[in-house]
Chain A
Amino acid sequence: MNRYKRHIILSEIGQAGQDQLLRAKVLVIGAGGLGCPILQYLAAAGIGTIGIVDFDVVEISNLQRQVLFGTSSLGENKAIAAKQRLKDLNEAISIIAYPEKLKHKNAIDLFRQYDIIVDGTDNFETRYLINDACILAKKPLVFGAIYKFEGQVSVFNYNNGPSYRCLFPNAPKQGSVPNCSEIGVLGVLPGIIGSMQANEVLKIILGIGKVLTGKLLCYNALTLQNTVLQIKRNDAVIESVLNDASSFNEKFSDFNCELEDLKISIKDNIIEENIQFIDVRESYEQPKVNGINVSLIPLSSLENNLDKISDSKKKVLFCQSGIRSLHAVKLLHKHNIYNCFSINEGAIDIIEHIKELQNISSNER
């Protein structure tokens, strides 16, 4: 394998180590400043399965540091845009995009499908959610965070080591610590910190070197000062997360807000390539939607037909009024099928909208 030759000739890695990388499954949360370099190096290194969680879209102000994206990705979902770039970098690996918010509801099931979780997010609420879900799903967490010219890196929940809560037991008051968008960040800083995180991921998989567990590395880009602080595991803190497992799903969850994230409108430019439209009405229900490719999978038999749901495409579900399709999306989530949305409008509105689009395109001709 020529691609990985520079790895394989290292005696510390060799073919056996490269095979370990190819078997590994790593989930990266956040495809922003930290996520981009993390993803880039993990994909290049040949991590066999990489998951990317990000609900956000690429904006022009991201390009100063989010090196996977270019002007052609503006407006695209970050998880999907990152996947496209990484596919070009390494087509031999499997990359799964989750273009949605990480929630207490889906986190643990999602984490169980991966070996290592990497935190590249930009807010405390998600960071604590990731930490707690890693404790509950028993997964190591490669942590990185930045502030202006400084960064923090650590590996939590690894080999009985401490967790993020052993360092900072509770999230600071909301708004008390600004993030990059409010206060600015040196563009190369997430490149440095994210690369350190990717390095820790590789060390964990390969079992080489000393993993940064029980320690917090503090890096200052202006002084180039590296400070390593020792962190002890706090059993009481971890116990309380474990004891709280049953309430984890309900924690912080704003049910209505979550439902809103699953709904889209037919007017949101959703008719494009790479979407699987699914009609979840019963086979006798009329009118049928023509003019776009539609899979007919009634809600009543959805769970028996999960193999008909595309792995790679975005799934857009509809019914007569938007109620059953929303129900179906939630059902798919239960089966760990994400990247699916419910159209607010019913079949009649969808048919109307397709007609309008066809009229526009025929007028253009």
Chain B
Amino acid sequence: MNITIRYFGQIAEVTCQEEESLEFSGTLISELLNALYSKYGLLKAKDFQVAQNQELVSIETKLTGHEIALLPPFAGG
């Protein structure tokens, strides 16, 4: 299935883009993350949460959405 992945803050710096589309055949979000970890070596060290179709979900959630977002916390003020 074709998935659009959006990256925010520091995550976008690691992936060098704010958005990408890719074909993925796995069933869980955690599997997608593993694929991204091997693509972007620095990603695993980062703190972030995952949203599927604009809803925060656990990484054990089944991959159903077309849009995944990787959201890091921001400290600045």
Identify the A interface with B (CB < 8 A).
30, 32-35, 119-124, 127, 144-148, 150-152, 167-168, 172-173, 176-180, 185, 190, 216, 218, 220, 223, 227-232
Contact = CB atoms under 8 A, between A and B. Distances in A.
B69 A229 contact: yes
Given A148-B9, A167-B56, A230-B55, A122 B47 contact: no
Nearest to A120: B77
Contacts of A147: 9-10, 72, 74-76
A179 B54 CA distance: 26
B55 to A, nearest CB: 4
Contact of B75 (A123, A216, A227): A123
B-side interface size class? 20 to 34
A122 B18 contact: no
Contacts of A123: 75
A28 B10 CA distance: 27
Scoring B6, B55, B75, B76 by chain A CB atoms within 10 A of each residue's CB, the highest score goes to B76
Contact of B18 (A146, A172, A223): A223
8 contacts: A33-B76, A145-B75, A147-B75, A151-B74, A152-B74, A167-B73, A168-B47, A230-B54
Interface string B5-32: 0101110000000100000000000000
B69 A227 contact: yes
B34 interface: no
A201 to B, nearest CB: 16
A34 B49 CA distance: 24
Nearest to A34: B77
Contact of B76 (A167, A168, A179, A230): A179
A180 B76 CA distance: 5
Scoring A121, A218, A231 by chain B CB atoms within 10 A of each residue's CB, the highest score goes to A218
A179 B77 CA distance: 8
Contacts of B71: 216, 218, 229
